[in-house]
Amino acid sequence: MKYGSVCSGIEAATAAWHPLGWQASFFSEIEPFQRAVLAHHYPNIPLHGDFTTIKGSEYEPIDLLVGGTPCQSFSIAGLRGGLDDDRGNLALEFLRLADRTRPKWLVWENVPGVLSSNGGRDFGSILGGMVELGYGVAYRVLDAQYFGVAQRRRRVFVVGYLGDWTRAAAVLFERHSLQGHSAPRREARESVAGTLGGSSQSGGFRTTDLDNSGAFIPVQANTLMSFGHSPNPLDETLVAQTVAPSLTSNPYGDHESREGTLVAFGGNRTSGPIDVTPALLAQPGSGVKCDFESETFIKTGLAHQHGGSIGPHTFAVRRLTPRECERLQGFPDDYTLVPNRGKPAADGPRYKALGNSMAVPVMRWIGQRISASERRHAA
């Protein structure tokens, strides 16, 4: 399968699809740091700039065009300019490129806010444009937490197939997803991820982790686990997957920790239920929030307290490290730690690039479904 990728970012698509034996014909990205990541990992793949200037015959023919065009104009957190915004209009430029290159498959990604932008008319225009080009389309909101990573990240995925909507629908929908059994809904809240091995009454820790006063006793936290779909696209069973190794902390000693689970160490027995992290955003540190009355923040990647001692109603929250953010998106460790301007990449650009990326396991699942469809129809 040959594919072209636009708005490539740090290439979640290639990280997902390379193990499938797929080959990229070209990338297209304008951000300097993301281009540095692509040039480092994929030096032999043509790296274009503005994808609106790609001509139909400029690169070798492709079977699939993939892109996650800018989401800011569709996001409910923004001004919601929709397709009238230059960034939102790039979704239509994606369709124009599809018309010039004529691949069999289209894969387009964006935030759920696109569904309601301009009363739904913007999304209707995007789907209608694909249909006018001859593509049968299907779309679905997929959440990365169900694909083996420890973050809630809901995104809209549109799959198009030239001339046949049933091929597109077969990629995005399984039999059990059409039986009317929706996923359970969680209570909306802001919270900090605990370890999944702990109880909800102990803030994510075993009850033996707390002394009678409620203060935290240093122990090794459980390994964070997440449930996701089996890598086999034809196997719909859920499997447990290890996401990050354990984190050990000693708040009464030297405060050293090993990078690992995405937890906050606290001693409040009445802490709410534990959960995985909210979605990674493109601003440093924004992937973890808390709203407790008494807080002790850990400002660096190490477990150093920022004033105060850990007591019965005090929480210590540290920023996720870039490596942990890579794991949350399904990338290999240090994937974004590349040479940049003559020195190792700083944390800021790495956070931003990861926050803007697609989740690798979701893209791999889509690729596996497309490959299965190709095999079935080739038989």
Q: What residues act catalytically?
A: 71
Neighbours of 340 (CB within 10 A): 18
Q: How many CA atoms lie within 13 A of 297 on its CB side?
A: 11
Q: Which pairs from 254-261 meet CB under 8 Å and 24+ separation?
A: 255/302, 255/303, 255/304, 255/305, 256/302, 256/303, 257/302, 257/303, 257/318, 259/301, 259/321, 259/323, 259/324, 260/221, 260/223, 260/224, 260/324, 261/193, 261/195, 261/221, 261/222, 261/223, 261/224
User: Tokens 């459980």 — which residue?
Assistant: 222
Kindly calculate the radius of gyration of the chain based on its CA atoms and give it in whole angstroms.
22
CA atoms of 146 and 228, how far apart (whole Å): 4
Q: Nearest CA to 145 among 199, 206, 71, 224?
A: 224
